[in-house]
Amino acid sequence: MFYTRSRTVGSMKLEKETSETGRFVRQPNRFTTRIEAGGAHPPEPGRYRIYASYACPWAHRSLIVRELLGLQDVIGVTIVDPIRDERGWRIPGGDPVTGVEFLSELYLATDPDYQGRYTVPCVWDITAKRLVTNDYPQITLTLETAFAPWHAEHAPDLYPEALRAEIDALNEVIFDGLNNGVYQAGFARSQAAYDEAVTKVFATLDMLEERLSHRRRLHGDELTESDVRLYPTLARFDAVYHSHFKCSVRRLIDYPALWAYARDLHAIPAFRDTTDFDQIKRHYFMTQTNINPSGIVPRGPEIDWAPA
Ligand SMILES: N[C@@H](CCC(=O)N[C@@H](CS)C(=O)NCC(=O)O)C(=O)O
């Protein structure tokens, strides 16, 4: 794959992530060390901090899982300001744990030569004073497995051994078709790349609509990691992706089963309390000025997320 070398577009180094055919190709995650027993970064209460934005769908997952599993006193969170300029994510008032004002400082403290985007979510090891991971798919899995000894008593098993292969397989489809598919549509730089992405997005929604027509959650009655990965994209769909990313063939509310499913999840406090539509909208429309040059945040859509 060929990548152009030029750097900043708006506040996102987007051209680095554009292929020669105009496709959006997401940067790889730089920090992928695992928090695991016996490793250099063992799980311990109070040792790690998650840096997250309410706006970011990848970070949203880790906020949901932390609450679902009752890990709030075990792993702290710093929430960054939703509006990002060329300095990257800012921590209003400074970070109470590290004192930094910008997330970039944690990336550069860990790797002074770091060249990529300074992304959320990422996890800082307070003892070792370094970033352990910005590998967002692994962060929730780590909370579900390595931190099991500290889960709340009635916490759901989001990654049950018997279902792992099925969960992993569906997560891949959801990632490619939807979580990342909407970004591929929104950041496409050619009609062909956009057409390809948007077709994939709606084929994936159609498939999920069918699947959820005869089961409450993606793998049956119980919540799993797959539901956690689907929800943040659904929550942003009508408010942002439909217009800002041009995913406008249908709205979420046009899918009866998916819409009922999304509202059912939204009724759970860990999902609802971590969903901030105002921050979501302000982030995408004001920060991604490469595709919304005026920075104007649309009013609406007026959507009632109360359960069906
Ligand atoms: N780590 C992944 C996903 C996380 C991600 O993209 N987070 C976004 C917010 S949704 C971010 O922090 N972007 C910072 C930037 O683009 O400068 C990546 O590098 O693509």
Q: What's the CA gap between 162 and 168, in Å, rounded? A: 12
Nearest residue to 167 via CA among 216, 228, 235, 122: 228
Q: What's the CA gap between 284 and 18, in Å, rounded? A: 19
Cβ contact 117:27 at 8 Å:
yes
Q: Does domain 48-150 have CATH number 3.10.20.30?
A: no
**So what's the pLDDT on residue 11?**
40
Catalytic pick among 51, 107, 183, 241: 183
pLDDT at 226 over 60: yes
Residue 136 is among the residues annotated as catalytic for this protein: no
In the predicted model, what is the mean pLDDT of the chain?
A: 93
Q: Which amino acid is at 300?
A: G
Ranges of each domain in the chain: 48-150, 161-275
Report the residue among 90, 120, 284 best suited for mutation to probe ligand 1: largest number of ligand atoms under 8 A from its CB: 120
Phi then psi dihedrals of residue 49, to 5 deg: -135, 135
**Assigned architecture for domain 161-275:** Up-down Bundle (1.20)
Cβ neighbours for 50, distance < 8 A, ≥ 6 positions apart? 59, 62, 63, 66, 75, 76, 77, 78, 121, 122, 123, 139
Residue 247 is among the residues annotated as catalytic for this protein: no
Residues 186-224 pLDDT 10s = 999 999 999 999 999 999 999 999 999 999 999 999 999
Residues 102-156 pLDDT 10s = 999 999 999 999 989 999 999 999 999 999 999 999 999 999 999 999 999 999 9
Counting Cβ atoms within 10 Å, is residue 277 exposed (0-12), middle (13-18) or buried (19+)? middle
Give residue ranges with CB within 6 A of ligand 1.
12, 26-27, 29, 56, 58, 88, 117-120, 134, 136
If you measure from the C-alpha of residue 21 to the centroid of ligand 1, how many angstroms do you get, rounded to a whole number?
A: 22
